[in-house]
Structure 1
Amino acid sequence: MRGRKSMKRDSAQLDRFDSLPWTSSLPNTEDDPFSALAGLNDFEGGVLSLEEIDESEYGLELPVTNGKKRKREESKAVGEITQDDKKKKKKKKKKKKKKKKDEGAKESSVDNEQEAVTGEDDKKEQEQQPDDSEYHYAWYELRLHPLLMKSISRLNFKEPTPIQKACIPAAAHQGKDVIGAAETGSGKTLAFGLPILQRLLDERDKFQRQVITRDENIVSKGLLRALIITPTRELALQVTDHLKQVAIGTDVRVVPIVGGMSTEKQERLLKARPEIVVGTPGRLWELMSGGDVHLVELHSLSFFVLDEADRMIDNGHFHELQSIIDMLPMIREGHAEDTENCVTASGFQRKKRQTFVFSATIALSSDFRKKLKRGSVKAKLDGELNSIEALSERAGMRSNAAIIDLTNASIMPNKLEESFIECKEEDKDACLYYVLSVHGHGRTIVFCTSIAALRHISSLMKILNVNVWTLHAQMQQRARLKAIDRFRGHDHGILVATDVAARGLDIPGVRTVVHYQLPHSAEVYVHRSGRTARASADGCSIALISPKEASKFTSLCKSFSKESFKQFPIEASYMPEVLKRLSLARQIDRVLRKESQDKADKSWFQRNAESIDLIVEENDSEEERVNSIRKKKSSSAQLKNLQQELNSLVSRPLQPKSFSSRYLAGAGISPLLQLQFEELARQKRGDSANQGDNKRRMVVIGQNCVEPLTALRSSGQEISMDTKAAVEKRRNLDNLRRMRKEDKKRLHDQKRKQRKKLKAGGD
């Protein structure tokens, strides 16, 4: 009892201390909690009173004696008021006891109802809050900082991915360099992002403790601690967004440095001296060679990250990367970094730099570690960065690096369904329009190898009222970002892109990837297909294969160890209507291209004439002018008729040729029609379950009912890809073509000899 009374008295004294007006001049204990704890430990019982405060230690200016007396009088008055309130409460309780029993019963029933309501509210709040055990159980084993755990809970990351489980302990707690390889969409960004943030937060905590125990001036902010390099601008911006989301509440700044944006704005961002910089090699080297102070001071760099490293070693690309790597301080095995100019860096920042190299594919030799150990003394070697080994060695990777390869034999996502469509080169447009119109469900990305093919597809699809967005390297950065944002904001959007979009783009809900043209390498095919089936979701990949690309496709299958592929099902009854629409669209596109070309030529001629101060005179005769006007009128009339005809076709749903509006199954039930019936039955069951929803939803048979993945799983045929048979078939075709060419040449020579004989006989 005596201990409880003393504790109450101590707490009352603390409350009076907090209520004083001059307590605002105390140092901020949130930023420096250990200083407050150190002051409290100097007193017995951990309780402070006005007489025990040391002005010199806490830097406080105590008020004058009159102010003290006034405060004590006010506290006494407050004590008297509280005693009067207690007396009033006792009187009220006595009055309540004298009331009738019925009124008491009523009041008790009301109280019970209120308690029940509050209990329900508490249950609702508990249901809304995420279950920590569900979200954090798998993350607790990684021993991350509490602020990072808070961000993980906020972002609803239930458990780490396999690449994160393998990389975070080795990088964050063991301090090792990491070479990681995993399939696309496996969470590689957080695999190197979380160790960076973990080390920065741990060092910050240690800095604060050192400042408290020893009065040292340690500079923990304003230094470049992590440099992350990516091959594309979109990937750099995406990595920046991911790291910013995780770094909320940590006061760690992340800045993107990419091309296509204002250099002055990026220089202003670097003046704020962020800890983490994510950029592309071109713009980074431009600012480094320009003498940017924040990027040149690399003595404090603790992390160097190369994301999508297999793209960095392409021939003829990323020459700036070699210059950036050569600027890094040298690292020697068993010694600290070369920090001659490191005046402001602390002992924590002089630790060995960690190097992370991540890729979707990896190929290392058996003696790779021995090469690292031999080459670590002279980290800067001559030669090109033509392999991941050379890139890792040049970046200063240590011989005890953790090599984590989680790629499977096929390198493709597990839930990805791959398929192909055999068609002629001129029929690719029809097959693409069929897939987008009949199975246009979910987000779709159409990949092309050339920009000319991209423009051709986009113009045709827009004429056919198929809303598409484009993305290629010749677009301005602002237009590229706008196209990605619009595609991301549309549930059934279609993006036609080159291989610029093949790497790094993490857009949720991409259900289908269409390869309009096959890529030049198997790695690009992997990255293209990896835009779907990400983060344990499923997806579909469709390759349009022409006869010329058959051998190339078989070699791709051989590199992936694929013995069979599914053939995407196409209902032949739809194709006449598809070809009719496509023919009209091509005619319209031809007319529009000719008009735009004429305008461009005319404007070019006028522009150049004006630049050299020439006056352009029209020397055309009256007859020529009349003919040109007639041609324009006829072409505009033709264009108008074609557009009207196409609009009348496009306004109706795409239906098979044998479709009967009177008898639905008059032409038989195809697999696609059967799937549509099943989809309608599911929707009907869902509508009956929702009794409150009286709205009816109309579904058009033959359009936008079945997504490509569902159609492929239900009616796709498995075709064995026998590479030997394909090579033999290709060889036979080549021999047949050569024999025909020789026969044609022989016949031509025989006819020529006969002509010569006839001429000689006539003479």
Structure 2
Amino acid sequence: MAAVTEAEPLVFPKQSNKKMGKRKRTQNDPELDRFDSLPWNSSISQDDPFSVIAGSHELEGGFLSLEEIDEGDYGLEIPVSNNKDDVQGESVDETEFYAWNELRLHPLLMKSIYRLGFKEPTPIQKACIPAAAHQGKDVVGAAETGSGKTLAFGLPILQRLLEERDKASNMGDDMGEEAEMFEPKGLLRALIITPTRELAIQVTDHIKKAAHGISIRVVSIVGGMSTEKQERLLKARPEIIVGTPGRLWELMSGGEKHLVELHSLSFFVLDEADRMIENGHFRELQSIIDMLPMASGSIGGQSQSSENCETLSNMQIKKRQTFVFSATIALSGDFRKKLKRGSLKSKQSMADGLNSIEMLSERAGMRANAAIIDLTNASILANKLEESFIECREEDKDAYLYYILSVHGQGRTIVFCTSIAALRHTSSLLRILGINVWTLHAQMQQRARLKAIDRFRSNEHAILVATDVAARGLDIPGVRTVVHYQLPHSAEVYVHRSGRTARACTDGCSIALISSNDTSKFASLCKSFSKESFQRFPLEESYMPEVMGRLSLARQIDKITRKDSQEKAKKTWFDRNAESIELMVENDDSEEERVNNHKQKRVTSMQLKKLQQELNTLLSRPLQPKSFSHRYLAGAGISPLLQHQFEELTRQKLDHGVNFGDNKRRKMVVIGQDCVEPLQALRSSGQEVRMDMKEMTEKRRDVENLRRKRKEEKKRLRDQRRKQKKRLKEVDE
């Protein structure tokens, strides 16, 4: 997704409500005069019985055909407004946006592009927009993560709706009030389905930004939010709906009128389609697709349409475009032939489910002339992504993660964990160590998930600890680093995780923490991407003793607080359930037990307070290398960097007084080293390491053998002790 850069808001000339989408005419504009004089032909067939309008202003079969709205048939370029003063007090240099002119987008969309600051379209946008917006084709698109796929299907949708609006406005001069029938209002025109809630909300936001000032309504319908509120939003009859399969089907099966009236649908979009077809997921998607009106000759020639969905003419059905987008794609050589003849029978489709991109496309009614655009490269990973790894023991991962976030804590960072338990453990330790992190996982309520994403977006140096729920689709600009605290279970998830950085032609860095248990998994990843070498992330080992000292204290604090929280939760649960069944709980503890418990709690509280004071003292000081001497600072000379750091520390002390143990986090100072982001450190000092798969496999085998021998030795010693006890017992008897 192309990164949305912050820009000053534009102020466009106010337009009347009656003709909101009509382009402002400039004086003596021959190109616009020529545009208005073109011979437009009505899309309503006089012989088609379904085109008769009976007592309704809703136009059945009367939407404008793609041939009518395609200026390419007339050899005409859409003239761009000469008014360049779109930004308050500033002029837009349209030469910077010259690359967009080839796509012949509507002037209002061009204004949005100026405002958003997109200098040129991404490769997937260059390939998709002409095929979808001007040739009217269905599209199967695949490109690396962060390549701008959302606007690749969002702009053609807005383009068609704006062109229909302009055509209706032009007709209004001749037909008067009857022209209102040619501009369908209050009908669902585009349905976009995504696999996750976060992605649906993100797609909605991007399309809204592109549709700014166009008065096209875009609404997201996702789970975890109030159903009543979403039903109220649907009563406004938005033209574009973005949703997840579960909530959409819940409302559809409940008879939500705006969702089941799919006869007016002009666009059906499946984003992140490869995730949609995972086994055991998104059964509701099949039900939604089966409700789509299908043209004769499609799969089985049948569709399960709702009672509200009337029979339509083939002419109208053919106007619906289907877009299927994914980060990866694998199509057979006879894919087009399958689309043309509908080779897979509907019964087989129902039995097999949506188990491939091909099946998904066929079931959605994709046409045989669909544009297939595959821009994925051999490695699938972003070109400007620099990958690296750190070899360490499993128990030392926390220390190296703290090292990365402390010494190189610049730019937004996402830390990925495979399990929620690991996420909670890691985030708890980091917070104790004074690093403010946000968490994101599947067990969080939707409101909390959205809050975490918003807070992460708002801080340019924020840290997000997440499970793989954040691996797909989320487009957060400025993510500089991705850390794999635990390796994912598949190469595909690794691609999507790493794709959260190096998006939209920017660069980024990924760091994998590799323990001996991860060796074989890491070797499989390297093999999947044909990687012969990886960069080893540069580490300054002289800082690790102090890192380990801080982490040791944090672990002790975490252990005490976690145990206390579990006891309180257990007691609360017991009391709550006893109260629910009206049981009186008696305390059977003796006086002596109560006194001992009180003493134990007091000792634990004092121990916790002591540990926290000790940790706060360490955190108040800069991170120092083991070789740093407090007495003989000038022994090896004071560098300009060291002098600057001392001055910075002095200012901090004067500003905050002697109390360094406050909760407000200050910028970490690392003695003798400037705090640079991981990518910069990797480029300056990263060491290329050749991945010898045979050596890694042997190393893994040796570790497993050593572990097995230790286990056998422990078992032998345990059996030996048991026999000795038994022998001594027999002697005593």
TM-score range, shorter chain: 0.7 to 0.9
Q: Matches of 1:321 and 1:230 in 2, distance apart?
A: 10
Question: Could you list the per-position Cα deviations for residues 565-599 of structure 1 after superposition, in whole angstroms to 9, with x for gaps in the alignment?
Answer: 11111111111111111111111111111111111
Task: Give the structure 2 partner of residue 466 of structure 1.
Answer: 435
Secondary structure of the corresponding residue to residue 444 of structure 1: strand
Identity of aligned residues (%): 75
Structure 1 residues 321-720: aligned runs within 5 Å = 321-332=285-296, 350-375=317-342, 381-382=349-350, 383-661=352-630, 663=632, 701-702=671-672, 705-720=675-690
Structure 2 unaligned blocks of 5 or more: 1-15, 28-83, 649-666
Q: Matches of 2:147 and 2:17 in 1, distance apart?
A: 46
Q: Matches of 2:288 and 2:276 in 1, distance apart?
A: 13
Question: Could you list the per-position Cα deviations for residues 366-389 of structure 1 after superposition, in whole angstroms to 9, with x for gaps in the alignment?
Answer: 222222223279667322212212
Q: Note closer, same or farther for the CA distance 1:326–1:628 as it changes in structure 2 (3 Å cut).
A: same
Kept in 2: contact 1:302–1:349 (CA 8 A): no
Task: Give the structure 2 partner of residue 309 of structure 1.
Answer: 273
Larger Rg: 1
Kept in 2: contact 1:609–1:616 (CA 8 A): yes
Query: What one-letter code is carried by the residue in structure 1 that aligns with 2:684?
Result: S
Question: Could you list the per-position Cα deviations for residues 263-294 of structure 1 after superposition, in whole angstroms to 9, with x for gaps in the alignment?
Answer: 11110111111110001111111111111000
Q: Which of residues 248, 255, 260 in structure 2 aligns to 1:296? A: 260
Task: Give the structure 1 partner of residue 90 of structure 2.
Answer: 128
Are 1:265 and 2:229 counterparts?
Answer: yes
Measured after TM superposition, the shift of residue 255 of structure 1 is 0.5
Q: Which has the higher contact order (CA 8 A, sep 6+)?
A: 2
Q: Matches of 1:222 and 1:753 in 2, distance apart?
A: 84
Question: Could you list the per-position Cα deviations for residues 31-74 of structure 1 after superposition, in whole angstroms to 9, with x for gaps in the alignment?
Answer: 8899xx9xxxxxxxxxxxxxxxxxxxxxxxxxxxxxxxxxxxxx
Kept in 2: contact 1:418–1:566 (CA 8 A): yes
Secondary structure of the corresponding residue to residue 103 of structure 2: coil
Structure 1 residues 232-251: aligned runs within 5 Å = 232-251=196-215
Kept in 2: contact 1:331–1:376 (CA 8 A): no
Task: Give the structure 2 partner of residue 189 of structure 1.
Answer: 150
Q: Note closer, same or farther for the CA distance 1:609–1:538 as it changes in structure 2 (3 Å cut).
A: same
Query: What one-letter code is carried by the residue in structure 2 that aligns with 1:714?
Result: S
Kept in 1: contact 2:407–2:668 (CA 8 A): no
Task: Give the structure 2 partner of residue 71 of structure 1.
Answer: none
Q: What is the CA RMSD across the aligned residues, in angstroms?
A: 3.8
Kept in 2: contact 1:444–1:494 (CA 8 A): yes
Q: Which of residues 690, 695, 713 in structure 2 aligns to 1:725? A: 695
Q: Note closer, same or farther for the CA distance 1:753–1:325 as it changes in structure 2 (3 Å cut).
A: same
Q: Matches of 2:570 and 2:579 in 1, distance apart?
A: 14
Query: What one-letter code is carried by the residue in structure 2 that aligns with 1:269?
Result: L
Kept in 2: contact 1:379–1:396 (CA 8 A): no
TM value normalised by structure 2? 0.79
Q: Note closer, same or farther for the CA distance 1:139–1:344 as it changes in structure 2 (3 Å cut).
A: farther
Query: What one-letter code is carried by the residue in structure 2 that aligns with 1:205?
Result: D
Kept in 1: contact 2:136–2:321 (CA 8 A): yes
- The answer to which structure has the higher helix fraction is 1
Are 1:207 and 2:171 counterparts?
Answer: no
Kept in 2: contact 1:332–1:377 (CA 8 A): no
Measured after TM superposition, the shift of residue 638 of structure 1 is 0.5
Kept in 2: contact 1:218–1:346 (CA 8 A): no
Q: Matches of 1:398 and 1:376 in 2, distance apart?
A: 13
Q: Matches of 2:538 and 2:271 in 1, distance apart?
A: 38
Secondary structure of the corresponding residue to residue 256 of structure 1: strand
Question: Could you list the per-position Cα deviations for residues 308-366 of structure 1 after superposition, in whole angstroms to 9, with x for gaps in the alignment?
Answer: 11111222221111111111111345999999977799999654321111111111222
Task: Give the structure 2 partner of residue 9 of structure 1.
Answer: none
Kept in 2: contact 1:203–1:348 (CA 8 A): no
Q: Matches of 2:415 and 2:620 in 1, distance apart?
A: 24
Q: Note closer, same or farther for the CA distance 1:270–1:376 as it changes in structure 2 (3 Å cut).
A: farther
Q: Note closer, same or farther for the CA distance 1:264–1:580 as it changes in structure 2 (3 Å cut).
A: same
Structure 1 unaligned blocks of 5 or more: 1-25, 38-121, 684-696
Question: Could you list the per-position Cα deviations for residues 63-89 of structure 1 after superposition, in whole angstroms to 9, with x for gaps in the alignment?
Answer: xxxxxxxxxxxxxxxxxxxxxxxxxxx
Task: Give the structure 1 partner of residue 247 of structure 2.
Answer: 283
Are 1:221 and 2:182 counterparts?
Answer: no
Question: Could you list the per-position Cα deviations for residues 508-535 of structure 1 after superposition, in whole angstroms to 9, with x for gaps in the alignment?
Answer: 1111110101111111111111111111
Secondary structure of the corresponding residue to residue 623 of structure 2: coil
Q: Matches of 1:633 and 1:405 in 2, distance apart?
A: 65
Q: Note closer, same or farther for the CA distance 1:703–1:628 as it changes in structure 2 (3 Å cut).
A: farther
Q: Note closer, same or farther for the CA distance 1:429–1:30 as it changes in structure 2 (3 Å cut).
A: closer
Paired residues in the alignment total: 632
Query: What one-letter code is carried by the residue in structure 2 that aligns with 1:587?
Result: Q
Q: Note closer, same or farther for the CA distance 1:317–1:668 as it changes in structure 2 (3 Å cut).
A: farther
Secondary structure of the corresponding residue to residue 456 of structure 1: helix
Secondary structure of the corresponding residue to residue 680 of structure 2: helix
Q: Matches of 1:253 and 1:463 in 2, distance apart?
A: 45
Secondary structure of the corresponding residue to residue 186 of structure 1: coil
